[in-house]
Amino acid sequence: MVDRNIVNRLGISEQQLDQQVGEMFGEEENQFLEEVLQAKVDSHLPGTILKGKIVSQIGNDVIVEVGLKSEGVVEASEFADPEEITPGKEIEVLLEETDSESGLILLSKHKADRIRGWENIINTKKEGDIVTGRVIRRIKGGLLVDISVPVFLPASQVDIRRPGDISRFIGREVECVILKIDIEGRNIVISRRKLIEDEGRIQA
């Protein structure tokens, strides 16, 4: 259940919060996740996550063997750590596109990681649980926090008293409580303020 007391503190209705979060993540991102999570398990179907093995790197292209007729390509920029690009290393990738004429197979490690991150959150976390993540950037109405998936931290929930400049939290690790998980909308709202208030009551 959604903690409606916290939602009320935001000064907006739950419907408005849903709309704000939807605008933050974007219709294209939500549509992408919805299509992939509902895709059939078919090793030749675009939108399916495959297990692969890194073969080599040629410039910005990482060549990955995924058990299809041709090897696939992942952009090197999708690897957070360049040292991850090691021949023989097994990774998960999303099958994005297959070109029957050229034989080119386009893969995405970033999107596969995002989907696995979302599935992990849904399977292991619930509203009221505590999570830790890094603040990525400031967005309309608050901050975007990475907890293996991007989640929304409203400005009014950053601290007990709303900071004058929430941008100072960018790059910091923050501990928050999950306020709302919207499975259908593929978004999560968190609150650092509620966690601080709860800890204060325990200490008192």
CA dist 133 and 147 (Å) reads: 4
pLDDT at 6: 52
- Neighbouring-strand partners of residue 163: none
Residue 121's alpha-carbon distances to 31, 38, 46, 114, 129, in angstroms, are 19, 17, 24, 11, 11
**pLDDT value at residue 41:** 39
Q: pLDDT at position 40, please?
A: 39
For the CA atoms of the chain, what is the radius of gyration?
20
Q: Which domains does the chain have, with CATH numbers?
A: 4-37+125-203 (2.40.50.140), 49-113 (2.40.50.140)
> pLDDT at position 185, please?
77
| pLDDT score at 201 | 63
- 10-residue mean pLDDT profile of the chain (204 residues): values are 51 60 59 54 72 94 89 92 92 85 83 90 92 94 92 93 88 95 87 88 53
